[in-house]
Amino acid sequence: MQLPWKRAPSNRVLKPPEQLKVKSRLTSVREVFLFAGPALIVSMAYMDPGNYGTDIQAGASFNYGLLWTVWMANLMAMLLQYLSGKLGIATGRDLAQLVRESLHNSRFDIYLNWVGAEVAAAATDLAEYLGTVIALNILFKVPLLYASIFGAADVLILLVLTSGRFRTVEYFFMLFVSIIALGFLYEVAVVGLNMPQIAQSFVSPAFGNSSIVLIVGIIGATVMPHALYVHSTLTRDKLVKRTNDEKRRLLRLHTRESIAAFMIAGAVNAAILIVSAVAFYPKCAVQPPMIPVCVSTVNQAYQIMIPIYGSIAAIMFAVTLLCSGLASSTTGTLAGIAIMDGLLGTKVNRTARRVITRIVNVFPTTIAVLLGLDPLSLLVYSQVLLSLMIALPMIPLLVYTAKKDLMGQFVNNRLTTYLGVVCGATIIGLNTYLVYYLVAPFGVYMLAIVLGVYSSYHLYLVRATLWPKASSITSIKTL
């Protein structure tokens, strides 16, 4: 079933190869451009304000010491997003829909998965909303309290963007990605690169109790639950004839677009950390739980950059943050619609979805501002929550893409499956380490209870996707 947004038919966007007269490198680039959209939209989730929060604190606290985490998380995200897009193309269904089918319409299991997915989506939107609020405060000097209210108006921007052809939305994302990428290219050119220190960061990386919160936060800001759900939906909607020839062609284009989009996203995240490291380290001491003394807010980071690198660099930083907040909010809305439509099997009005999500996040954010809480810390801890919840879509994704009777000739090869399992195990292992670090001070009994609950959560997901009832999703017809 199609999601409730308007878009031009896919065959008007991407012509079949036989209609392209000249097969050349230029033609190949044109094909990728005409297909481009799914990975670009999803890549904004990896350049959202949550990434700003974690990368700023990582650079300010550990210099280049956590740069390895940024690239590791980006490579894992690239693989998992490739699998999500591949799932939509190969099966003609999205991840949320397949999860519902594998649960065999068990209301308890379906609603349990849906609530978990919605919590992750709300945590994501909180970061995107905070980014918009902070950028409005920096650029236009709007007090945070009023900016937290004005920031909710991005629903109107979303309605304008999606009022016509969906291809228009994809063009806007190309613009947003370009602004953010060029903005940080300028930032890096201004601050410069210390290549020996960057190389040393991979030889002797920062890792331990003092950095584990930021490590998990960076992973949560990069490998995001809602992005895994929505990518399969966006690639599924590119299908027209649903033949194997068409799927092979779309899969080839999907691979090329994903590599390009997520390499840009990874470079942007690395640039944020590098700029933060050059500007704020070693002035900022590390204080558990990793809150730098002199950079406790994004606004402070902006103010410190002005006398060091000039107002243009600082304003460019704020502009990229605003573009990030607006674009990633759109991605979050599309993901929220995909989650509800797929898991509950109900059509969702995008206006109602955005308004409800914004209301949910306006109140806690406004209260946090009134209480004087640090918005940057809220950004970081919202990303930690996302990392703890990534298994919710990740485990089903790894299972489904390894099932030959579901994927047909597009099933993962052994190397891809092994790499996916290694990625999943790495994320879950780091999350478990964080849980242990945070809970251990409360005693062995509390630690046993929390780790038991966390382990049961993962075992439940494995059971739900591997249970014999999942055979109900294995039939797939291809031409």
Question: Where are the extended beta strands (E) located within 276-427?
Answer: none
Is 204 part of any domain? yes
What one-character DSSP code corresponds to residue 46? G
Cβ neighbours of 253 (radius 10 Å): 23
pLDDT at 83: 97
Condensed to tens digits (0 to 9), the pLDDT of residues 20-67 reads: 444 455 557 778 777 888 999 999 888 888 888 888 888 888 889 999
Tokens matching residue 115: 């609530």
CATH number of residue 76's parent domain: 1.10.4160.10
**Distance set, CA 273 to CA 66, 254, 293, 313, 392 (Å):** 8, 28, 17, 15, 28
Is 423 part of any domain? no
Task: Spell out the SS3 assignment of 3-38.
Answer: CCCCCCCHHHHCCCHHHCCCCCHHHHHHHHHHHCCH
Q: Are 374 and 296 in contact (CB under 8 A)?
A: yes
Q: What angle do CA 147, 152, 153 make, to 5 degrees?
A: 100
Q: What angle do CA 227, 63, 287 make, to 5 degrees?
A: 90
Please state, in angstroms and rounded to a whole number, the distance separating the CA atoms of residues 422 and 424: 5
pLDDT at 214: 92
Residue identified by tokens 């195990």 is 425
Count of domains observed in the chain: 1
pLDDT at 231: 95
Q: Are 231 and 42 in contact (CB under 8 A)?
A: yes
Is 230 part of any domain? yes
Is 232 part of any domain? yes
Q: Are 49 and 269 in contact (CB under 8 A)?
A: no
Full residue range of the structural domain in which residue 297 is found: 34-390
Q: Are 86 and 331 in contact (CB under 8 A)?
A: no
Tokens matching residue 310: 């000039």
What's the mean pLDDT when you consider all of the chain?
81
Residue identified by tokens 């209870």 is 449
Backbone angles phi, psi at 270, to 5 degrees: -60, -40
Q: Which residues of the chain have pLDDT under 50?
A: 1, 4-13, 17-23, 285, 287-293, 468-471, 476-479
Please state, in angstroms and rounded to a whole number, the distance separating the CA atoms of residues 88 and 2: 12
Is 129 part of any domain? yes
Rg (CA), the chain: 22
SS3 category, 173? helix
- Model confidence, pTM: 0.86
Is 447 part of any domain? no
Is 358 part of any domain? yes
pLDDT at 477: 45
Is 316 part of any domain? yes
pLDDT at 154: 67
pLDDT at 448: 94
**Distance set, CA 47 to CA 60, 61, 321, 325, 354 (Å):** 18, 20, 9, 9, 20
